[in-house]
Structure 1
Amino acid sequence: MTGDTGQAAAASAVVRNTPARIGFWAAGAGVSLILAIVMTPMFWLMWGGFYTASMFLCGAVAIPAGHLGRRRGKRLGGHDRGAALFAIVTGWLLILCSLTLLVAYAGLMAGLGFLVGSAN
Structure 2
Amino acid sequence: MTSNIGRTTTPTAVHRNVPARISIWSAALGVSLIVAAFATPMMWALYGSYYTFFMALFGVVAIPTGHVGRFRGKRLGGRDRGLALLGIVTGWLLLLCALLLVLAYIGLIAGLALLTDAVR
TM over 0.5: yes
- The two structures, once aligned, show a CA RMSD in angstroms of 1.3
Equivalence map 1:35-114=2 (5 Å): 35-114=35-114
- Which stretch shows the higher mean deviation, 31-40 or 57-66? 31-40
Equivalence map 1:7-22=2 (5 Å): 11-12=12-13, 14-22=14-22
Distance in 2 separating the partners of 1:105 and 1:87: 27
Letter in 2 for 1:119: V
Distance in 1 separating the partners of 2:65 and 2:49: 24
Count of residues in correspondence between the two structures: 112
Superposed CA offset, 1:87-116 (max 9, x none): 000000000000000000110111011111
- Give the percent of matched residue pairs that are identical in Structure 1 and Structure 2: 57
TM-score, L = length of structure 1? 0.89
TM-score, L = length of structure 2? 0.89
Distance in 1 separating the partners of 2:54 and 2:116: 31
Query: Within the alignment, does 1:27 sit opposite 2:2 as a pair?
Result: no
Segments of structure 2 that go 5 or more residues without pairing to the other structure are 1-8
